[in-house]
Amino acid sequence: MYNLLKGKRGIIFGALDPKSIAWKIAEKAHEEGAKFVLTNAPIALRMGTMNELAERTGSEIIPADATSMEDLEGLVTKSVEILGGKLDFVLHSIGMSVNVRKGRHYTDQKYDFTTKGWDISAVSFHKVMSVLYKQDAMNEWGSIVALTYMAAQRVFPDYNDMADNKAYLESIARSFGYFFGTDKKVRVNTISQSPTPTTAGQGVKGFDGFFTYADKMSPLGNATADECADYTISLFSDLTKKVTLQNLFHDGGFSNVGVSQSVMDYFDKEE
């Protein structure tokens, strides 16, 4: 360990179970000396196993629905109180598509579902930042990170309306990041992570094929949740103070590969 987050305070959204990317980030943030509050939707707290993570990392859990301004206002106020000062980092690791859950095809969405998924997966990031900004809850040189996926730039048919949500999320990072940077010297970035076997990831139709294909296409192979946690810690640390408004690919090189030898070999065999 490098004590990269020694003395830093934060809020971590989205640790549901030990497979969650946010869970790994919480473990590493703790190892690197951070103090933080864990939060998730009230219903997820009933289903998940967050108490175990809270005990292990000496953290408090504050339930908050990330679509509710009232919940978010309470969360930020209480976190600053509990942690004894303003925040240095915030992780947004939240995603959910009702259309995906209910098996609706992209071309046949139920728009109530679309709106709900968009609010949870994208607008919630704006709401979180708006509350942090208005309460002046971030320290200078603080860092805010949200997790995203490359379906924001390229077509992955089964990713459904989450592709649109991720495009919106990445745009919010740039737009809000401008004001957070200019007014408060806080950086805002998104990390575009490889397919990862978590509850949200495995909810996408055909996940296994998708996962293996990405792995075969990436010169370094898929990035794991643990590796994503390492990368996120670097963005929370003082080693990346001038990185902001970026969508950062953490995908073993997948995003810049046209085709790999291993995928070519597979199709050669088919001839």
Ligand X SMILES: NC(=O)c1ccc[n+]([C@@H]2O[C@H](COP(=O)([O-])OP(=O)(O)OC[C@H]3O[C@@H](n4cnc5c(N)ncnc54)[C@H](O)[C@@H]3O)[C@@H](O)[C@H]2O)c1
Per CB under 6 A, residues contacting ligand X are 13-14, 16, 20-22, 40-41, 44, 65-67, 93-96, 120, 147-149, 193, 195-196, 198-201
Shortest Cβ distance from residue 259 to ligand X (Å)?
22
CB-closest chain residue to ligand X: 201
Q: Provide the minimum distance between the beta carbon of 226 and ligand X in the complex, in angstroms, as a whole number.
A: 12
Nearest distance in Å: CB 125, ligand X = 9
Dig out the tokens for 225 from the structure.
């949740």
To the nearest whole angstrom, how small is the minimum distance from the Cβ of residue 243 to ligand X?
19
Per-residue CA distances from 101 to 64, 200, 211 (Å): 21, 10, 19
CA 137 to chain centre: 20
CA dist 241 → 46, 144, 160, 232, 253 (Å): 37, 11, 35, 13, 24
Angle between helices 21-31 and 50-57 (to 10 degrees): 10
